[in-house]
Amino acid sequence: MMDAAAPQPDPASQPDPTPPPDPDPAPASRRPLGSRNTGWARKLAATAVDKGLTPNQISQASIGFAALGCFLYMLTPASPGFLQVVWLLLVAATIQTRLICNLIDGMVAVEGGQGAKDGPFWNEAPDRLSDLFLLIGAGIAAQNVALGTLAASLAIATAYLRELGRAEGFPADFSGPMAKPQRMAVLTAGTVIAAFYASEWTLNWTLWIIVAGTTLTILSRSMRLIKALKAK
C-alpha cells in the first residue's frame, strides 16, 4: 500500500520571497520645502517627466540661468538708468528660475522615479557653481567683487558642513538662518530694490546681510556637528 502523499504547504502561508522595497532615503537628504507640495510644482514636475526631461538636465539648466544672471549683473554698472532697471529685474527672474530648477529636478528624480546613478553629483555641483555666479555677479554690480566673492565662499562653506555631516552618518543639516532659500530670497529682494533705488549701495547692503547671515549659519552648523561627533 502506497504511503499517502505528504500535505503540501499552503502558498498563502509562506513568507513572500520578494524583499520589501528599501525605505525612501530622500527625506533625510532632501531640503524640506513647502513649495514641493504645491499644485504648480507638482504640475511642473509632471510636465517635465512627460517631456522626457531628466533631473540631471534640469540641474544643468540651473547653471545656465545662474550664468545668465551673472552676465546681466555685469552689464548693470555701465548701463544707463532704464537698461539698468531691466537688467536687474531680469536677474531677479533668473535667481528665481534657478530655484525652480533646484526644486523640480529633485521632484522629477524622486517622485517621478527618474533618478540616475550620477544624480548626487548633479544635485550638488550645479548649486555650488550657481552660488558663485550669482553672488560674485552681485559683487560686480555692486562694484565690490571682494564682498561678492566672500559671500559666495561662505555659501559654499555651509554646503560643505552639511555634506561633511552626512559623510559622518548624520542627517543633512539644512538649518539657517541663511541657508540657500534664505540667501536667494535676500538676493532677489535686494536686486529688485536695487533696480529702483541706489543700485550699488543697495546691493552692497544685500551682500553684507548675506555674509552676516551665512556666517551665523556656518557657526551654528559647526557647533551642531561638533556636538554630534562628540556624542558618537
DSSP string, 195-215: HHS-HHHHHHHHHHHHHHHHH
DSSP designation for 169: T
* Stronger pLDDT, 115 or 55, i.e. the higher one: 55
Which pLDDT value is given to residue 28?
54
Terminal-to-terminal C-alpha distance of the chain:
69
Residue range 23-40: mean pLDDT, rounded: 67
Alpha carbon of residue 6 to chain centroid:
62
Which pLDDT value is given to residue 149?
98
Taking each helix axis from N to C end, the angle separating 55-75 and 119-141, rounded to the nearest 10 degrees, works out to 10
Cα separation of 157 and 180, whole Å? 12
* Stronger pLDDT, 214 or 32, i.e. the higher one: 214
Q: Domain 52-230, what fold?
A: Four Helix Bundle (Hemerythrin (Met), subunit A) (1.20.120)
Model confidence at 41: pLDDT above 90: no
Residue range 120-133: mean pLDDT, rounded: 92
Residue among 106, 97, 125, 124 nearest 45 (CA): 106
Model confidence at 10: pLDDT above 80: no
* Percentage of residues of the chain with pLDDT beyond 70: 88
The amino acid that residue 124 corresponds to is: E
* Stronger pLDDT, 145 or 81, i.e. the higher one: 145
Which pLDDT value is given to residue 189?
97
Cα separation of 186 and 184, whole Å? 5
Model confidence at 127: pLDDT above 60: yes
Model confidence at 228: pLDDT above 60: yes
Residue range 203-209: mean pLDDT, rounded: 98
pLDDT tier at 32 (50, 70, 90 boundaries)?
A: confident
194-219 as b/e, with b when 16 or more CB fall inside 10 Å?
A: bbeeebeebbbebbbbbbebbbebbe
